[in-house]
């Protein structure tokens, strides 16, 4: 996992995170905050990235909200002939 720190002194503090998200556009990413106040602070920090940040009340809810992804035909064929 790459370092995705926010460098407040940099010209673009979110550059590492932004690059990761662009490179892994199809990957779901979970941001975790301990309270509503911290979630709001995190949303403010991430606002320049213009992300869509749906809320989940638990990790289970996050996993359950995952869109179903079809398996590639090669996997299906290998598993079930």
Is residue 63 over pLDDT 70?
yes
Task: Specify whether the CB–CB gap between 3 and 15 falls below 8 A.
Answer: no
Does any domain span residue 15?
A: yes
pTM tops 0.75, yes or no: no
Does any domain span residue 72?
A: no
Q: Give the pLDDT confidence score for residue 79 in this predicted structure.
A: 54
Is residue 47 over pLDDT 90?
yes
Does any domain span residue 26?
A: yes
Does any domain span residue 48?
A: yes
Contacts of 13 (CB under 8 A, 6+ apart): 6, 7
What range does the domain containing 58 cover? 1-66
The rounded mean pLDDT for the chain is 83
The number of folded domains in the chain is 1
Q: Give the pLDDT confidence score for residue 75 in this predicted structure.
A: 56
Is residue 23 over pLDDT 70?
yes
């Amino acid at each position: 996992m790459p370092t995705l720190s926010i460098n407040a002194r940099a010209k673009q503090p979110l550059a590492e995170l932004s690059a990761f998200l662009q490179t892994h556009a199809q990957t779901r990413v979970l941001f975790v905050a301990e309270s509503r106040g911290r979630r709001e602070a995190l949303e403010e920090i991430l606002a320049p990235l213009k992300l869509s940040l749906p809320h989940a009340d638990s990790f289970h809810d996050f996993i359950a909200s995952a869109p179903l992804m079809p398996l590639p035909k090669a996997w299906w064929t290998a598993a079930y002939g």
